[in-house]
Amino acid sequence: MKTYGFAVVVFALSALGVNAAGEAAPVVDSIGMKLIRIEPGSFTMGQDGPPADHHMNKHPAEFDRADWDEKPAHKVTISGAFYIGEKEVTLGQYRQFKPKHRPKNTDDEAATGVSWFDAVAYCQWLSKKEGKPYRLPTEAEWEYACRAGTTTLFNTGDTLPPGSHKWFGDSGRRSLYFGTNPMPPEYKVIDGPVSLRGGEGTPNAWGLYDMHGNAAEWCADWYGPYEAGEQTDPLGRSDGDFRVFRGGTHSTFSRLLRSANRAAWIPESASENIGFRVVQADAPKGKLLPPATPPLNARNVSQLIPKLQKPSPEIPHFAGPVPFVNIPPGSAGPMYSWHNHSPAITECPNGDLLATWFSCVDEGGSELCNLASRLRWGTTEWEPATPFWDGADVNDHAPKLWWDGNQTIYHLARGLVEDVVRTSNDNGATWSKARTIFPNGEFGNQMIRTREGHLFITHDSRTTGLVSSVDNGKSWNSILLAKKDSDIRPGGTGGRPPGIHAPIVQLADGSIMAYSRQDPPEDQAAFHGKTPLSITRDGGKTWTFSESEFPAISTAQRAVMIRLREGPILLCSYTDQARDWKDRNGMTFKAEGDVEFTGYGLFAAVSMDDGKTWPHRRLITPGGAPRELPTIDRGIATFSDTMSERSGYLAAIQTRDDRVQLISSKNHYVFNLAWVKTLPPAPKK
């Protein structure tokens, strides 16, 4: 039997010294909720042992390895008895509090689609109704009750019983991971509608149902890292960004259902996969731990505003590439050395540069998190990467950053069933609690502010147009389409730019221009292999499509476009698709001496007339003899007079010194407008 150092559960039932569910009969309250008495005792919380590698595309059936946040396993004592719901709160029970909640679902299903705040409010309502204290379980109480005296991966042993874990249809990308192969024995594939009816399996040794799967369950605690040493009645952290939920949900990997597995997300979120069960007892008298120590990117952040001296705009400047993603090899949580991508960058009021990106093994995986690095004012090296934002077991994808030019920095990201935005007024040292933006999906590219003071950002959902705010981010509006655009061709119109990852700029006449990426070859063919150009003159309600002069890009590539402080528009993109690199065509560039040459990879183009023409183009490379330098993940790119990076997601800003700070998925480049307009030396043959 695999135990992975869980240690022995300590029992303490009266004089026997053994803990189990109490012999007292279950309590049934006035709404028909059965509550099981759990006696005091001790157990080992968490899981030590080999770490998960998160390569679920290689071994989707693996479930026994530990996540980093489950360590160190530590002894916990629960000092007082409590009653806990035999099952998750049902819709029938919840509707006595909110009668119209999820009206299409049956009374015997778990009450999901409730936020942490909703669950707490229900407990308060039930406390008043019953005249007894009801609350959410602490994370420690939840795991103690789940384990029910076991030390194994699940309370059923080191495996789940055959057919005990529901997987509905192809949700959770089942076919992507398992293909047409038979599912592992613990799964029960159901092709009908999702039903979260509880109590259909076998209860654990203490009489509790659905502690593994069905619906995940909110707990009382703020999420934070574990600490070593024995603890009594731990209450989690005193503050944080995320509230804990436990138990895992249907239609996901069984590794996420282990007794030790942890998950957490913002308390405002109301996911159809998260419900709760109640505890009837006074609050435990344990101690709250202080918030976790800030990561390096938020530590000792200067609040001084630097005195800036702009260099001469006439002198060309270029530096780079310099890696800004610096993660120790072999890292498997909370940072991942395998895949680091989709960056964002901002200048801070104090002159620092702050970059963030997602880090993971699998872009669709639960391990995906946001990391950050800081290049402090007056220094020349990016700091090592450290955690920035991560709801545990939530794929909080594709972060974006934007500074309003005054005091506030915005951070946006995809969430669980919503998108989120938070702000910092102290150069990224601390951040507000996240607020929700709907609908859920990846923000397409960087945010802009128009001359009218409105904030706009594109969205990658095919049924979502521009997302905007007219009150500096206090509230947000999304243009929702009734159906996907169908007239996607040069001369066609639609409700959003074609494809994904569209950067935008406002033009002199007030309209907004976008360049976007289309991946399918048939979609690219409609634009003759060029990047689609889109214009909206009504605030994003209607877009007109045309064919740009720049090559189409696709997988592992994202363009960026910004309005420079001097007036021109800067576009950075790629000469060829990374997936077709072996058959690359390149683009024609000019060099000194009236020379033209073919260049390949990352380039910059400048328009002086609001995107009508792009007379200045330059390959973004230090030039010189060919040399190999790191690029995205473990890739290597050749840099020379005619070669640059072939892939990576681009993000760019212009700092107050009028220099462009451009990052790919790995590297940082610095240049100015004069450099782009200056012809490079002719390539050496």
pLDDT digits (tens, 9 = 90+) for 337-372: 999 999 999 999 999 999 999 999 999 999 999 999
List helix spans (H) across 508-627: 521-526
pLDDT number for residue 23:
62
Find tokens 């890696």 and name the residue: 323
Instruction: Give me the amino acid identity at 679.
Output: L
How much is the average pLDDT of 154-172?
A: 93
pLDDT number for residue 602:
99
How much is the average pLDDT of 240-258?
A: 98
Q: Collapsing DSSP states into helix, strand and coil, what is residue 28?
A: strand
Residue ranges of domains in the chain, CATH in brackets: 14-156+193-280 (3.90.1580.10), 556-685 (no CATH)
Q: Collapsing DSSP states into helix, strand and coil, what is residue 142?
A: helix
pLDDT number for residue 9:
37
pLDDT digits (tens, 9 = 90+) for 133-148: 999 999 999 999 999 9
Is the pLDDT at 4 greater than 50, yes or no?
A: no
DSSP characters over 79-125: -S-EEEESSPPBHHHHTTTSTTSSTTS-TTBB--S--HHHHHHHHHH
Is the pLDDT at 6 greater than 80, yes or no?
A: no
The first and second tokens of residue 131, run together, are 């005249």
Is the pLDDT at 75 greater than 70, yes or no?
A: yes
Residues 6+ apart with CB under 8 A from 151: 3, 6, 7, 8, 9, 44
Is residue 645 very low, low, confident or very high in pLDDT (cuts 50, 70, 90)?
Answer: very high
pLDDT digits (tens, 9 = 90+) for 526-564: 999 999 999 999 999 999 999 999 999 999 999 999 999
Q: Which residues pair with 663 in a beta bridge?
A: 651, 668
> How far apart are alpha carbons 80 and 259 in whole angstroms?
21
The first and second tokens of residue 102, run together, are 């999820």
Q: Are 456 and 443 in contact (CB under 8 A)?
A: no
> How far apart are alpha carbons 29 and 168 in whole angstroms?
33
pLDDT digits (tens, 9 = 90+) for 255-294: 999 999 999 999 999 999 999 999 999 999 999 999 999 9
Is residue 3 very low, low, confident or very high in pLDDT (cuts 50, 70, 90)?
Answer: very low
> How far apart are alpha carbons 37 and 27 in whole angstroms?
8
Q: How confident is the prediction for the chain on average, in pLDDT?
A: 95
Is the pLDDT at 118 greater than 50, yes or no?
A: yes
Q: Are 569 and 575 in contact (CB under 8 A)?
A: no
pLDDT number for residue 181:
86
pTM: 0.94
pLDDT number for residue 17:
32
How much is the average pLDDT of 567-579?
A: 98
Instruction: Give me the amino acid identity at 504.
Output: I
pLDDT digits (tens, 9 = 90+) for 448-491: 999 999 999 999 999 999 999 999 999 999 999 999 999 999 99
pLDDT number for residue 2:
38
Ramachandran angles phi, psi of 517, nearest 5° = -115, 130
Q: Collapsing DSSP states into helix, strand and coil, what is residue 262?
A: coil
Q: Are 91 and 105 in contact (CB under 8 A)?
A: yes
pLDDT number for residue 1:
36
How much is the average pLDDT of 7-35?
A: 62
pLDDT number for residue 25:
86
Give me the percent of the chain exceeding a pLDDT of 70. Answer: 96
